[in-house]
Amino acid sequence: MVDKEDMIHDAAADREEFRQSIDFQDIDLGEEDVAYENLELDDFDSLSDEDDPPLKRSLRRLRKDRRKKHMRDGIASPFYVGQAFSNRKEISDLVKDHAVATRRQLKTVKNESTRFRVVCIGQSPNFEGTGENSQQVDGSSEVGGITSQNNESPTTCPWVLHVSNPKKLGTWVVTTFKDVHVCLQTRKVDKCNISFIVKNVMDILIVNPTIPVRSLQELLQKKLQVEVSENQVYRAKDIAMKAINGYFHKQYENLNSYAEELIRSNAGTTIKIDVDQDLNPNSTSRQFKRIYICLGALKRGFKLCGRDILGIDGCFIKGLYPGQILTAVGLDSNNSIYPVAYSIVESECKESWVWFLEHLGDDLVLDFNSNFTFISDWQKVLLNVLFNCLHLHTNYNS
């Protein structure tokens, strides 16, 4: 049963007119593309319905074109016209990264105080001009916009980057950048030099400084997808290890300043540093051996409210300069862990324990009348130190 009074018929619509209202793919905007080339596209994200539809279409197309221009071989280009740099080293490092990432043979042809120019010298293909889309003109062939002469040198790659600083104000600006390659990719990239390899192996060597050169070479070639010789990796590892060791080595030169600052900022702090003299009597250098630190605030707090019980133990230090940390930990009035003192020594031996506990006894004023309980693991060395070296009437618990 059909109620004829409630039936609604579809209104007739002109599909051709509807298609013309929404589809502008075939509209040629002409010079409008040039007019909107330098517009800030983000300002047009929220266009109203009253705006001209061709303008919307043009802006969307410009966004799409710009995304394509910044993507070559699936890698985003790090350069664009108007880009500013603070120095030439920043530009050079970025060129190296881009050359290795795209596996192109980039070469710096100008590196002066006012200009920095990089071109691509990669080998381009030399087409014979036998395909459907090739056109033979006076013995030359043209395929896909690439022209080459038969039996002559390959086509020059048009990729170029020019950065200038004409007024020497310290700001370098990209004035010319043509991100078009017609050359072939290569695994032998000159920009992948020793300094570039050092930067890429630094993090690996900090975690694993004993990694073999051959294994490091395989990791780099798998990561960068370029050829790296074993000699390059060996030299880069040597430079990187000297930089890493030098960084830690420099910190020991600041040890005295660190101790003085602790004493100045925390009254009553005790710091003892033991060093080994150089075998050469005329040398003024000394080698760090051990350090003892007992902060003044912790010392006073333990004497006022700490219990007469101390836990002493040691643990390993891993890294380029291994050693041991000796600690003395007590209990406060709330039965919470209370750090008292610690020491960094060369190893957990009788000499280092004697040195640590003697300074601890001086700070806590431990004498023959002291009644302290020491808790530690069962070590004969430590037991002999407590009873024979410090001469304390102690209660030793393991």
The angle at the Cα of 165, spanning 159 to 171, to the nearest 5 degrees, equals 105
> What is residue 293's predicted lDDT score, i.e. its pLDDT?
96
Q: What pLDDT score was predicted for residue 6?
A: 66
Neighbour count for residue 91 (Cβ, 10 Å): 21
3-state DSSP of the chain: CCCHHHCCCCCCCCHHHHHHHHCCCCCCCCCHHHHCCCCCHHHHCCCCCCCCHHHHHHHHHHHHHHHHHCEECCEECCCCCCCEECCHHHHHHHHHHHHHHHCCCEEEEEECCCEEEEEECCCCCCCCCCCCCCEEECCEEEECCEEEECCCCCCCCCCEEEEECCCCCCCEEEEEEECCCCCCCCCCCCCCCHHHHHHHHHHHHHHCCCCCHHHHHHHHHHHHCCCCCHHHHHHHHHHHHHHHHHHHHHHHHCHHHHHHHHHHHCCCCEEEEEEEECCCCCCCCEEEEEEEEECHHHHHHHHHHCCCEEEEEEEEECCCCCEEEEEEEEECCCCCEEEEEEEEECCCCHHHHHHHHHHHHHHHCCCCCCCCEEECCCCHHHHHHHHHHCCCCCEEEC
pLDDT, residue 324, reads 92
- Tens-digit pLDDT profile for residues 290-342: 999 999 999 999 988 888 888 888 898 887 788 999 999 999 888 889 999 99
Quick one: angle between helices 296-305 and 350-364, nearest 10? 70
Q: 264: which residues sit within 8 A by CB, 6+ positions away?
A: none
Res 141: pLDDT: 41
Average pLDDT across the chain, whole number: 77
Res 231: pLDDT? 93
Using CA of residue 363, residue 365, residue 370, residue 371, what is the dihedral sign?
Answer: negative
For residue 352, give both structure tokens.
């280092």
Per the model's pLDDT, the better-predicted residue between 297 and 22 turns out to be 297
pLDDT on residue 171? 86
- Neighbouring C-beta atoms of residue 332, cutoff 10 Å: 14
- Lowest mean pLDDT, pick from 137-146, 249-258, 309-318, 324-333: 137-146
pTM here?
Answer: 0.49
Quick one: average pLDDT of 62-83?
64
Q: Rounded to whole angstroms, what are the CA distances from 47 to 22, 42, 270, 357, 386?
A: 16, 11, 71, 77, 83
CB neighbour list of residue 252: distance below 8 Å, 6 or more residues apart: 288
Q: What is the pLDDT of residue 58?
A: 63
Q: How many residues would you count in the chain?
A: 398
| Confidence (pLDDT) at 197 | 93
Cα distance between residue 262 and residue 271, in whole Å: 9
Closest CA to 99 of 203, 188, 201: 188
Place of tokens 């040629």: 28
Asked if 392 and 372 count as a contact pair (C-beta separation under 8 A), the reply is yes
Q: What CATH code would you report for 266-397?
A: 3.30.420
User: Which residue's entry shows tokens 């010298």?
Assistant: 121
Burial of 262 by CB count in 10 Å (0-12 exposed, 13-18 middle, 19+ buried)? middle
Check residue 371 and give its pLDDT: 80
The answer to whether residues 127 and 134 touch, using CB atoms and an 8 Å cutoff, is: yes
Residue 35 has a pLDDT of: 44
203-207-209-214 Cα dihedral, nearest 10 degrees: -70
Where residue 387 falls among pLDDT bands split at 50, 70, 90? low
The lowest-confidence range among 25-34, 92-101, 223-232, 261-270 is: 25-34
Domain ranges of the chain: 194-252, 266-397
Report the DSSP pairing between strands 373-375 and 309-317.
Answer: parallel
Task: Tell which wins on pLDDT, 187 or 51.
Answer: 187
Residue-level pLDDT at 62 = 55
Tokens 């298609």: give the residue.
19
pLDDT value of residue 113: 85
Strand partners, 342: 293, 327
Is it the case that residue 150 has pLDDT exceeding 60?
no
Contact 356, 326 (CB under 8 A): yes
177 in Cβ contact with 164 (< 8 Å): no
Average pLDDT in the 254-282 region? 89
The pLDDT value given to residue 389: 54
Burial (0-12, 13-18, 19+ Cβ within 10 Å), 46: exposed
